[in-house]
Amino acid sequence: MDGLEPSALTPRKVAFVFVLAGAAIAAACGRQVTPNPPGLGPGGAPPGYFAVIFNTAAAFNFSNYQYLVVLNTTGDGRTPSTDTIQTNWDGYSYAIVALGNGISSFAKPIQYVRSNQNPHVPPRPLQLGTTPQQFSYNLNANGTGTEFSILAQKRVFTATPGPSPTPTSNVWTFNAFVAQPNTQGQWSFYDSMGAGGPIDPQWVNTPPLNMLTCFDQTYYALDLSIGDPSAEIISVEIANNPIASPCPSQ
């Protein structure tokens, strides 16, 4: 992913952006309970934003891995999987990627852009331009190095004009991965939300995310036997605060 092309907007790598809204994380099993800030919704999300909280069994290892939440925004109900070649990257619309070099880390949103000339080639990952107000990253959301949080404006993942715009529905699906690209642009997967971890069986019964409703849900990975605990996903929490019908203020 390091070779991502910049978008037409001015991209900024959001490194260690700690904001109060992103740091106030809703309660989840086995984690410290922190109330939402006054006037904000679940996960500390203001209206028009959603929060993603990613947990692993041990501290993140950015020297060896990248951590992704891949979003399917088309509304077709399909779940992104590790079988990218077999499925032709089905369900890959956008992704939130946390990556680094072992010394520092940052997160970025990307769009998977498909070729109009040959839809069977792998989509091109395009980094989306954002500001710190639109997309912020908290590397150490729980104080133990095993949880990062992202606060993102929903329009970042819907307002992508161009020759190959990604279809956008209000009902999304997702999957989470621990992976690493090689020099040929192919991916090596180490874990996912599915029972097979990096292999089959995949996570196919993804609960739909209705982005027009207020919600705060924690989803637990089904395979907890990954050899490296820093590559083992424990859970992903997603909280949404729609702009049209905001969540009740806390």
In a domain, 224, yes or no: yes
In a domain, 102, yes or no: yes
- Cα–Cα distance for residue pair 26/28, rounded to 1 Å: 7
Domain that holds residue 206: 5-241
In a domain, 115, yes or no: yes
Number of structural domains the chain divides into: 1
Q: What is the pLDDT along the chain (250 residues), one digit of tens a residue?
A: 444 444 433 333 333 333 334 333 333 333 444 445 555 666 679 999 999 999 999 999 999 999 999 999 999 999 999 999 899 999 999 999 999 988 899 999 999 998 888 888 889 899 999 999 999 999 999 999 999 999 999 999 986 555 556 668 999 999 999 999 776 667 899 999 999 999 999 998 788 999 999 999 999 999 988 899 999 999 999 999 999 888 887 5
In a domain, 226, yes or no: yes
The answer to whether 41 and 250 have CB atoms below 8 angstroms apart is yes
- Cα–Cα distance for residue pair 247/232, rounded to 1 Å: 32
In a domain, 12, yes or no: yes
In a domain, 196, yes or no: yes
Q: Which amino acid is at 138?
A: N
Q: Which residues are within 8 A (CB) of 100 and not within 5 positions of it... i.e. 6 or more apart?
A: 62, 63, 106
pTM above 0.85, yes or no: no
In a domain, 250, yes or no: no
In a domain, 248, yes or no: no
